[in-house]
């Protein structure tokens, strides 16, 4: 088969441009907007991967099998200086150093084969952001084909980029000269409308780089809430949004056979409702099975990319339990690989929002309804807990907090996103539920994990309005409203304190967890309004 190609030999783009015209560069060979099949062919020819028994392309990302948060920067300039919440998450980078690094990266492309792609993000046209991607790996370009939205032929003919991503995993920075911490880097420039990624082959840096851009641009420029969440829609058009950190069940619980998937990870909540930022899914596959995740399992076919997995011996059958490379094994595929995916990936105003937490302390109720203030507080907290044994030295549950359930990608102060959530809750009378998919009857090691069928039943009851007229009591420490009846769920598990044999031990553990919440919230309290501050746990000292 003849592969469409052409060779580029044009001048470098001038430095200092604030308008994002298509980036010009010199290279040995350039391929523009290849099809998925062509990119798979290139990847195999280049030695970047091999086909599995299902036809998926299996690739390794190299030294980095996940993001490197300490090497992610935002250029500090007139656009960002007073807007970005600077610190350990949003690390400032010098604009002149960025320009120098950009020129070095362009020069480094001169003797390389380059794959470019014109794509866009945001499923609703009024929010659309055109993205130009420049890759030195064919499978990276296929990842962008899968994960970003795909223009029509007519749209490609009139395509003008709004943002450019340059990703060259073989380019290594010189920290002493270039201003980086390490040889690898991911740098966002919101004035020049560019992202530079070098020294890492982890594809998620491209996806989360654009997500970070939208988490700045949409709230600041469009007063639109950006969300690190999944979303689905019922047959009647009711939309549900799911927030949750890793291990809380976000992917599992949003993949409902009776509801259409809007998206699995990144969404905006605009004037008329929810819309997906992406055109694909990037799911974890560690311990994947057809029984546990049938939709994802079926999506791993030709056009999908598996990252850092291994085969069963003497086969091309993937061993999803294999942790030889990393726990963070992944698959990327276009969203239409999911049978129940909604196209276009947008829906109305959310009727219900679910905050998922795997509380290994066994304190939080399996389901509770939140006031607006409590919702904003728990949104800022972004709580879950790791169990003992998951990390060296962890012998008891360890609380994990990630603001807005995605702190690593949020350029603004968390209270700005939380206040927007509160405004939208009040405007649209959206219900927010706290769901504990973690432990009951005691902490990890004593109690047991909440049964998935009960969690599904609770979410279904909330979605169907079956919890509207039941009695509620307030949790004595966290103040959230606990329903006293839920269809298909034993009443005795609804009040967590009643599931513990030692009630004094429960009370002490609840106070301990509340203290961890308060300690974490101290980082944000000075910026929080009174309603947010009042949404936290009751302080016994007051």
Nearest to 493 by CA among 481, 479, 483: 483
Q: In which element (H, E) is residue 165 found?
A: strand 163-168
CB count within 10 Å of CB 499 equals 20
CA 263 centroid distance within chain: 11
**Which residue in the list 137, 259, 330, 475 is annotated as catalytic?**
330
Q: What single-letter DSSP state applies at residue 236?
A: T
Distance CA 234, CA 187 (A): 39
| DSSP reduced 3-state for 449 | strand
**Which residue in the list 26, 61, 65, 67 is annotated as catalytic?**
67
Strand order, beta sheet including 194-198: 29-32, 113-121, 129-135, 163-168, 194-198, 185-189, 72-75, 91-93
Residues 332/147, Cβ–Cβ less than 8 Å: yes
Q: In which element (H, E) is residue 195 found?
A: strand 194-198
Distance CA 515, CA 446 (A): 22
CA 229 centroid distance within chain: 7
Residue 31's φ and ψ, nearest 5 degrees, are -120, 125
| SS3 readout for 378-428 | HHHHCEEEECCCCCCCCCCCEEEECHHHCHHHCCCCHHHHHHHHHHHHHHH
Distance CA 296, CA 299 (A): 5
Q: In which element (H, E) is residue 231 found?
A: strand 230-233
Whether 475 is a known active-site residue: answer no
CA 293 centroid distance within chain: 18
Whether 430 is a known active-site residue: answer no
**Which residue in the list 79, 118, 136, 251 is annotated as catalytic?**
251
**Which residue in the list 140, 228, 342, 369 is annotated as catalytic?**
228
**Which residue in the list 238, 264, 265, 359 is annotated as catalytic?**
265
Whether 67 is a known active-site residue: answer yes
User: Considering Cα of 508, then 509, then 514, then 519, what sign does the dihedral take?
Assistant: positive
Whether 117 is a known active-site residue: answer no
**Which residue in the list 76, 150, 250, 416 is annotated as catalytic?**
250
Whether 449 is a known active-site residue: answer no
Whether 284 is a known active-site residue: answer no
Helix (H) and strand (E) counts in the chain: 13, 30
| DSSP reduced 3-state for 498 | helix
Q: In which element (H, E) is residue 296 found?
A: helix 294-299
| SS3 readout for 358-374 | CCCCCCCCCEEEECHHH
Nearest to 509 by CA among 461, 442, 457, 428: 442
**Which residue in the list 191, 246, 326, 371 is annotated as catalytic?**
246
Whether 453 is a known active-site residue: answer no
What six digits make up the tokens of 351? 């009727």
Whether 208 is a known active-site residue: answer yes
Please identify every residue annotated as catalytic: 67, 208, 228, 246, 250-251, 265, 330
């Amino acid at each position: 088969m003849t592969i469409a190609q052409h060779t580029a030999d044009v001048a470098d783009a001038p430095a200092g441009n604030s308008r994002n015209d298509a980036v010009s560069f010199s290279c040995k060979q350039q391929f523009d907007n290849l099809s998925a099949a062509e990119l798979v062919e290139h990847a195999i020819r280049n030695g970047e991967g091999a086909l599995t028994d299902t036809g998926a392309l299996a690739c390794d990302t190299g030294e980095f099998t996940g993001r490197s948060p300490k090497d992610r920067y935002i250029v500090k300039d007139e656009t960002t200086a007073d807007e970005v919440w600077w610190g350990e998450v949003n690390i400032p980078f010098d604009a002149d150093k960025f320009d120098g690094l950009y020129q070095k990266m362009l020069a480094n492309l001169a003797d390389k084969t380059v794959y470019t792609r014109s794509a866009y993000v945001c499923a609703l046209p009024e929010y659309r952001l055109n993205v130009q991607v420049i890759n030195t790996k064919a499978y990276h370009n296929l990842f962008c084909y899968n994960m970003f939205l795909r223009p029509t032929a007519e749209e490609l003919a009139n395509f003008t980029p709004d943002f450019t991503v340059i990703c060259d995993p073989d380019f290594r920075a010189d920290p002493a000269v270039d201003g980086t911490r390490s040889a690898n880097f991911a740098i966002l420039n919101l004035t020049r409308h560019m992202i530079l990624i070098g020294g890492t082959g982890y594809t998620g840096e491209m996806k989360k780089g654009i997500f970070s851009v939208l988490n700045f641009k949409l709230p600041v420029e469009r007063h639109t809430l950006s969300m690190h969440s999944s979303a689905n829609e019922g047959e009647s058009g009711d939309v549900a949004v799911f927030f949750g950190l890793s291990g809380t069940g976000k992917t599992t619980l949003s993949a409902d056979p009776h509801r259409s998937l809007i998206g699995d990870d990144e969404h905006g909540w605009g004037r008329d409702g929810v819309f997906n930022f992406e055109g694909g899914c990037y799911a974890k596959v560690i311990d994947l099975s057809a029984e546990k995740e049938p939709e994802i399992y079926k999506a791993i076919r030709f056009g999908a990319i598996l990252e850092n997995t291994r085969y069963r011996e003497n086969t091309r059958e993937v061993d999803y339990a294999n942790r030889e490379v990393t726990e963070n094994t992944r698959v990327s595929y276009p969203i239409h690989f999911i049978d129940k995916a909604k196209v276009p990936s947008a829906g109305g105003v959310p009727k219900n929002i679910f905050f998922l937490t795997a509380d290994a302390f066994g304190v939080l109720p399996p389901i509770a309804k939140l006031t607006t203030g409590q919702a904003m507080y728990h949104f800022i907290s972004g709580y879950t807990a790791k169990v003992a044994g998951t990390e060296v030295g962890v012998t008891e549950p360890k609380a994990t907090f990630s603001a807005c359930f995605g702190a690593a990608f949020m350029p603004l102060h968390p209270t700005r996103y939380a206040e927007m959530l509160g405004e939208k809750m009040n405007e649209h009378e959206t219900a927010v539920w706290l769901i504990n998919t973690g432990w009951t009857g005691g902490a990890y090691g004593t109690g047991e994990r909440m049964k998935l069928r009960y969690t599904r039943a609770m979410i279904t009851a909330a979605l169907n309005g079956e919890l509207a007229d039941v009695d509620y009591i307030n949790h004595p420490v966290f103040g959230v409203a606990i329903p006293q009846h839920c269809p298909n769920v034993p009443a005795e598990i609804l009040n967590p304190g009643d599931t513990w044999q030692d009630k004094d031990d429960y009370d002490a553990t609840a106070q301990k967890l509340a203290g961890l919440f308060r300690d974490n919230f101290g980082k944000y309290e000075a910026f929080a309004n009174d309603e947010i501050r009042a949404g936290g746990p009751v302080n016994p000292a007051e």
